[in-house]
Structure 1
Amino acid sequence: MKEDRYFIAGRAIAVSLIRGGRPAAFLSPTVFFCLVEGPEMAKPLLKDVADSDLCEKIKRVTECKSFEDLRATTEPLEEYLANAGCLRPLRRLEDKNLLVDDILMFQVIHSVRGPFERLRDGLRTLGVLDKIQTHPNSFYPLLCWSPATLTADLVDSFFTIRLSPVDSNRRHAEEVVVPFWRDYLADSEDQEGTQKLGTILSFATGANTVPPIGFSPQPSIEFLHQEYDAGTTSKLPIANTCINCLKLPLYTSYRNFQEHMDFALGNTHGFGLA
């Protein structure tokens, strides 16, 4: 808060969305709801509590079966409840639900209200917050986490394959490699799933996920013929991430193609991506 990093984070997310950068898919549904409807309307859940010790204590409150159990379970929380302003009188077992709601509102919403407001102020940059509130369904998958769904067919569809003229010697060599490329994507999906496909995408474009507004320029595949690099033929794939272009080496054996693709991907680490 002292360095105003929440505001900077909100502004960075807004600019990234506008510029077609990687989506900031890490917000919880509750935080996203607060951005759209406002914190006052939020209904936080137990899973929103990051403090595992406090989460376990709240869970025990929800599991109380008698009023005596409720009194005994809330006793260790008295200091926390006093600091949180949640000193709700407990007169019956059913009061536990109201108490839990109070605790969740304080822990998830009120205790981080300052950072949240600065994050929201940052998202106002370039009118992004207004668009989030107007089109929440469109922004939800961009701002909230969900399992990645890259597939071999999807990754293949991103790339335009630039082939040499029909019936040329180059074209014949390229048409041998195109099935290798698609087999390699399929094998990657079968062996390591989304993670390997994300690595391939990152190698070619610098992004291991699809940007919110798509790729620009459209990713393409070219081929490394002999005249490349002053008369030598590269054995490894080469990528130009400025133009999203992947250049594939020419092989007549899928095994050789696969080995050199794996070597290139395994020994290239950049862009600060894990």
Structure 2
Amino acid sequence: MLTSPVYSNNEIDDDVTAADIIRTFQRENLNLEERVIVVARRRKILHSACTALKTSYFAWHKSPQIEFVGESADDYGGPSREFFRLLMQEVQSSFGVFEGKTGQMFFNYDQVAVEMKRYYTAGKLIAWSLMHGGSGFKALDSTLFKLMCGQADSAEEFDWHNLPDGEIQDKVRQVFFCQTQEDVDGIVSSLGDWIADCGVPGIYNAAPKDMRRIYGQVIKHYIYFRTADMIAQFKDGMNSCGNLWQIVERNWKVFLPLFTNEQKELARDEFRALFKICWSEEGSNLREREEDTIFCWELLLNSIQEKQSTITFKEMLVFITGADSIPPLGFPGEPRIEFYTQENRRLPFASTCGMVLFLPRGIQEEEELTDLLNTALKGYLGFGKI
């Protein structure tokens, strides 16, 4: 049986950040000097991760060394960021434990998945990603996450459009818009037994003023209490890695952006500030041509900010770093822009390990740079092109 260090579960100050908490967790739980090799196939990331978890030598507290099949790059950070980004996507979409759209996902009610301990595995995979520099899960509905963390959310303002089941949407919509006694009588007649089965027997004696509260109770039943066994197994999976869920729950506010979509998209100034530009000697012909390119680069960033470009900051960040957002701990170094002479290579390229974007010197038009980057992004291996 794997024996790993366990987090001491000491109280943490209210004013700390998620980065502070994760660093403390790493310091007290992880042995980053020891490495565990994880062989991964880009088209089967989830299968690769689950296979790694089953090996006798797997240990969550060791630093994962990701080796993509058919690729020779050493893991100096880029492959790990890429692996965990793709893994979190597949856990959402392919594991059968979540339903709904990204940012408003809920636990799927599946007893077979419980018996197979898939919810446990999902929790363990998310914990593994988070503690080793992943950007977070960023998929759960925020109301669900708060309920999972023991917060007394009334759910009365929950948007019923976010429910994944169309039939359930229709039922709760009727409750949401109930305003008169005639409406209440109609709901009691058509939906009374169903609402009572949701743990709300008070529906039979309800008045119009009670209906918004009843709506919130029905929502909490459907997204939380109905799947309580699944959620408990998920928490156990996260807690199998140093009681990580306990830490998340105790500090839910700072972890909210890492589990839900309650985080603003990367903005131009934030994206721009990430990069150090590696210029040639000032006054040289190379420097002059580099300034031409950066002028077009700045125009492109403006176009992305104003949503006038087919490229997004998220796609660019993935291309350059392997991550789709800035990790809680930041990047282990400073992303850079370097230059090359276009006669030697046409398309821009990137090193995710070094977090370097290579741009051709002498680009004169924003449209030209956009076209080159679009072509490079479409051919990028990280988008599953192999």
Q: With structure 1 as the length reference, what TM-score do the two structures score?
A: 0.81
SS at match of 1:246: strand
**Hey, what's the Cα distance between the residues in 1 that align with 2:183 and 2:341?**
77
User: Deviation at 1:172?
Assistant: 3.5
RMSD: 3.0
More helix by share: 1
Partner of residue 301, structure 2 = 185
From 226, 248, 268, the equivalent of 2:359 is 248
The answer as to whether partners of 2:195 and 2:203 remain within 8 angstroms in 1 is no
The answer as to whether partners of 1:26 and 1:143 remain within 8 angstroms in 2 is yes
SS at match of 2:350: strand
With over 3 angstroms needed to count, the CA separation of the structure-2 counterparts of 1:59 and 1:258, relative to structure 1, is: closer
**Hey, what's the Cα distance between the residues in 2 that align with 1:207 and 1:163?**
25
Partner of residue 2, structure 1 = 115
Is 1:233 equivalent to 2:344 in the alignment? yes
From 220, 223, 241, the equivalent of 1:108 is 223
Is 1:217 equivalent to 2:217 in the alignment? no
**Hey, what's the Cα distance between the residues in 2 that align with 1:66 and 1:173?**
71
SS at match of 2:271: helix
Paired positions, count: 266
The answer as to whether partners of 2:155 and 2:217 remain within 8 angstroms in 1 is no
From 127, 139, 143, the equivalent of 1:14 is 127
**Hey, what's the Cα distance between the residues in 1 that align with 2:198 and 2:307?**
50
With over 3 angstroms needed to count, the CA separation of the structure-2 counterparts of 1:120 and 1:244, relative to structure 1, is: same
Higher RCO by CA contacts (8 Å cutoff, separation 6 or greater): 1
What amino acid is aligned across from residue 225 of structure 1 in structure 2? T
Q: Which has the larger radius of gyration?
A: 1
**Hey, what's the Cα distance between the residues in 1 that align with 2:321 and 2:135?**
12
SS at match of 2:115: coil
The answer as to whether partners of 1:151 and 1:194 remain within 8 angstroms in 2 is no
Partner of residue 229, structure 1 = none
With over 3 angstroms needed to count, the CA separation of the structure-2 counterparts of 1:172 and 1:37, relative to structure 1, is: same
SS at match of 1:222: strand
After TM superposition, the structure 1 stretch with the greater mean CA deviation from structure 2, 144-153 or 200-209, is: 144-153
Partner of residue 375, structure 2 = 263
From 156, 159, 173, the equivalent of 2:272 is 156
User: Deviation at 1:135?
Assistant: 2.6
**Hey, what's the Cα distance between the residues in 1 that align with 2:309 and 2:368?**
22
After TM superposition, the structure 1 stretch with the greater mean CA deviation from structure 2, 126-135 or 149-158, is: 126-135
User: Deviation at 1:68?
Assistant: 4.7
The answer as to whether partners of 2:176 and 2:212 remain within 8 angstroms in 1 is yes
SS at match of 2:270: helix
From 279, 284, 291, the equivalent of 1:175 is 291
The answer as to whether partners of 1:81 and 1:87 remain within 8 angstroms in 2 is yes
User: Deviation at 1:207?
Assistant: 2.2
Q: Deviations for 1:23-71, whole angstroms, at most 9, x for unmatched residues?
A: 2112222222123226xx4533443644332333233235444445423
Consecutive unaligned residues in structure 1, runs of 5 or more: 227-231
With over 3 angstroms needed to count, the CA separation of the structure-2 counterparts of 1:194 and 1:150, relative to structure 1, is: farther
Is 1:35 equivalent to 2:120 in the alignment? no
The answer as to whether partners of 1:14 and 1:126 remain within 8 angstroms in 2 is no
With over 3 angstroms needed to count, the CA separation of the structure-2 counterparts of 1:182 and 1:57, relative to structure 1, is: same
**Hey, what's the Cα distance between the residues in 1 that align with 2:176 and 2:285?**
73
Q: With structure 2 as the length reference, what TM-score do the two structures score?
A: 0.60
Is 1:55 equivalent to 2:166 in the alignment? no
Partner of residue 258, structure 2 = 142
What amino acid is aligned across from residue 31 of structure 1 in structure 2? L
User: Deviation at 1:157?
Assistant: 1.0
**Hey, what's the Cα distance between the residues in 1 that align with 2:169 and 2:370?**
48
**Hey, what's the Cα distance between the residues in 1 that align with 2:202 and 2:297?**
64
**Hey, what's the Cα distance between the residues in 2 that align with 1:258 and 1:29?**
36
What amino acid is aligned across from residue 75 of structure 1 in structure 2? S
**Hey, what's the Cα distance between the residues in 2 that align with 1:63 and 1:256?**
53
**Hey, what's the Cα distance between the residues in 1 that align with 2:310 and 2:246?**
33
Partner of residue 41, structure 2 = none
Q: Give the share of equivalent positions with the same residue, in percent.
A: 26
SS at match of 1:90: helix
Partner of residue 244, structure 2 = 128
From 201, 204, 209, the equivalent of 1:90 is 204
The answer as to whether partners of 2:188 and 2:204 remain within 8 angstroms in 1 is no
With over 3 angstroms needed to count, the CA separation of the structure-2 counterparts of 1:121 and 1:194, relative to structure 1, is: farther
**Hey, what's the Cα distance between the residues in 1 that align with 2:199 and 2:250?**
34
**Hey, what's the Cα distance between the residues in 1 that align with 2:376 and 2:243?**
41
SS at match of 2:382: coil
